[in-house]
Amino acid sequence: MEQAYVRDLARFAGSEVVIKGWLYNKRSSGKILFLEIRDGTGIVQCVAQKKVVGEESFKAADTLPTESSLVVEGKVRADERAPGGFEIDVSSIKVVHVSEEYPITPKEHGAKFLMDHRHLWLRSRKQSAILRVRHAVIKAIRDFFDGRGFICTDAPIFTPAACEGTTTLFKVEYFDQAAYLTQSGQLYAEAAAMALGKVYTFGPTFRAEKSKTRKHLTEFWMVEPEVAWAELEDVMKLAEDFISYIVAFALDRSKEDLKILERDTAKLENVKAPFPRVSYAEAVAQVAGTGTEMKWGEDFGAPQEEALASLYDKPIIVHRWPAAIKAFYMKRDPADPKVALCLDVIGPEGYGELIGGSQREDDLAELTKRIVAENLPMEAFKWYLDLRRFGSVPHGGFGLGLERTVSWICGTKHIRQTIPFPRMLNRLTP
């Protein structure tokens, strides 16, 4: 008899199958027993009758604790009463392992309790759905860049110094010297772009900021494309095409999971390039127009970000920020040296910055000047400056936070549910 996965049950309607899985929930009624079995692809209700499976088997199943592993055989039958549209008329039940008392019950739990049991919480319907969406988003990211001729050139995780010099880094022992966990693969991506033209890095990044918010993790995944011969306009175009592709892909592939998550997908259907583009100066005026306080030269706080997002129904590209509040490697606008040729993409519905990027400074003298001005260790950037010595070209790119994107697409309140095992301030286990 063939093993069937719950996701594919429609194909097996009317035939005998084997389901291998875990007991998600059960309801019994004396002589009839409803077993909800999950197998990683979905949950199916299996109907066992005492007269069919026998007294002993019935009793064993009737007292089986949640999350026990079992193998059932039975016939697939379409039934409107069953969640998912199909159920199994059970002919035999084989218990593989009787679970101990399972800590996660069908009732509500607090965030700490669930995170302490993250290794088990992953089994629940919504958490599984989120991880499948995350997988789809990763696939979309790879497909998008592959389709456009980008080469994946991953960056090292151990780095000798800060990329941006601003945020706090995790320090680790690297034999007899200090090293830091990377906060961005960008500088390495720039080098690779000078070799291969269009590249991206995709991997974990680390920020030792003591953030305690719904938008932050200390370890998160970031994808960073970098393109030689690209100017700000090209980077903005790439960013909006990229986000549009990811959202369309997820809407197509993750329909069922988004339904499980009760995501209002109408808001995602809108997300198609082009996105509204506003300069920082325009954005400041628009934010001030909503009554939220904002002056030129200030960075956007959460209230300002939300005020701006509330004016649009798509992600917004805010470009040409004051150079003083942006990273040293961003190229100044020749038309207005007070601003940098950079962009942020602010997600709708309060999900914050999805993307930060820029055209890079390609002039050796300018870049050297900025490294000195910001007191960065020149020695550590020696190789980076070489990129401006040997055939420097205009280039640029951006970084997109995977978990923030998944959080937005899934509509989760907190980013911590969008990575299998989140690392946060106060959270290193499980």
Partner RNA sequence: UCCCCGAUAGCUCAAUCGGCAGAGCGAGCGGCUGUUAACCGCUACGUUAGAGGUUCGAGACCUCUUCGGGGAGCCA
Considering only residues 78 through 97, tell me which ones interact with RNA, judged by CB under 7 A: 79, 81-83, 87, 89
Site for RNA in 171-230 (CB under 7 A): 184, 207, 209-218, 220, 222
Q: Tell the residue number behind the tokens 């962009």, with chain if given.
A: 343
Q: Are the CB atoms for 23 and 64 separated by under 8 Å?
A: yes
Instruction: Give ∠ CA 224-375-157 in degrees, rounded to 5.
Output: 35
Binding string, 327-356, against RNA, x = CB under 7 A? -----------------x-------xxxxx
**Closer of 28 and 364 to RNA (Cβ):** 28
Report the C-alpha gap between 117 and 100 in whole angstroms: 15
**Closer of 115 and 247 to RNA (Cβ):** 115
Instruction: Give ∠ CA 241-357-169 in degrees, rounded to 5.
Output: 130
Q: State the nearest-atom distance from the C-beta of 164 to RNA, in Å.
A: 7
Local structure of residue 427 (DSSP, 8 states)? B
Q: Are the CB atoms for 336 and 212 separated by under 8 Å?
A: no
**Closer of 153 and 184 to RNA (Cβ):** 184
Candidates 302, 372, 378, 393; binder of RNA (CB under 7 A) is: 302
Q: State the nearest-atom distance from the C-beta of 218 to RNA, in Å.
A: 7
Report the C-alpha gap between 345 and 150 in whole angstroms: 21
Which residues are registered as beta bridge partners of 355? 345, 400
Is position 295 an interface residue for RNA (rule: CB under 7 A)?
Answer: no
C-alpha distance from residue 106 to each of 24, 25, 40, 124, 232 (Å): 9, 8, 18, 10, 51
**Closer of 154 and 364 to RNA (Cβ):** 154
Token pair, residue 193, equals 């772009």
Report the C-alpha gap between 97 and 81 in whole angstroms: 29
Q: State the nearest-atom distance from the C-beta of 419 to RNA, in Å.
A: 9
Report the C-alpha gap between 392 and 415 in whole angstroms: 38
Instruction: Give ∠ CA 193-197-201 in degrees, rounded to 5.
Output: 45
Site for RNA in 102-121 (CB under 7 A): 102-103, 105-113, 115
Segment interacting with RNA, rule: CB under 7 A, options 76-84, 262-270, 313-321, 379-387? 76-84
Segment interacting with RNA, rule: CB under 7 A, options 13-21, 282-290, 361-369, 422-430? 422-430
**Closer of 89 and 282 to RNA (Cβ):** 89
Q: State the nearest-atom distance from the C-beta of 416 to RNA, in Å.
A: 7
Distance of CA 109 to the CA centre of its chain: 24
Q: State the nearest-atom distance from the C-beta of 82 to RNA, in Å.
A: 5
Candidates 2, 14, 30, 335; binder of RNA (CB under 7 A) is: 30
Token pair, residue 212, equals 């305690």
Q: State the nearest-atom distance from the C-beta of 32 to RNA, in Å.
A: 4
Report the C-alpha gap between 250 and 181 in whole angstroms: 31
Site for RNA in 229-288 (CB under 7 A): none
**Closer of 60 and 122 to RNA (Cβ):** 60
Site for RNA in 373-402 (CB under 7 A): 399-401
Q: State the nearest-atom distance from the C-beta of 156 to RNA, in Å.
A: 18
Site for RNA in 42-71 (CB under 7 A): 45, 47, 49, 51, 63, 65-66
**Closer of 102 and 364 to RNA (Cβ):** 102
Contacts with RNA by CB under 7 A: the residue count is 74
Report the C-alpha gap between 178 and 161 in whole angstroms: 9
Which residues are registered as beta bridge partners of 198? 227
**Closer of 195 and 325 to RNA (Cβ):** 325
What's the number of CA atoms in the CB half-sphere (13 Å) around residue 256? 13
C-alpha distance from residue 258 to each of 42, 100, 353 (Å): 13, 32, 22
Token pair, residue 230, equals 């690209």
**Closer of 13 and 195 to RNA (Cβ):** 13
Q: State the nearest-atom distance from the C-beta of 389 to RNA, in Å.
A: 26
**Closer of 252 and 296 to RNA (Cβ):** 296
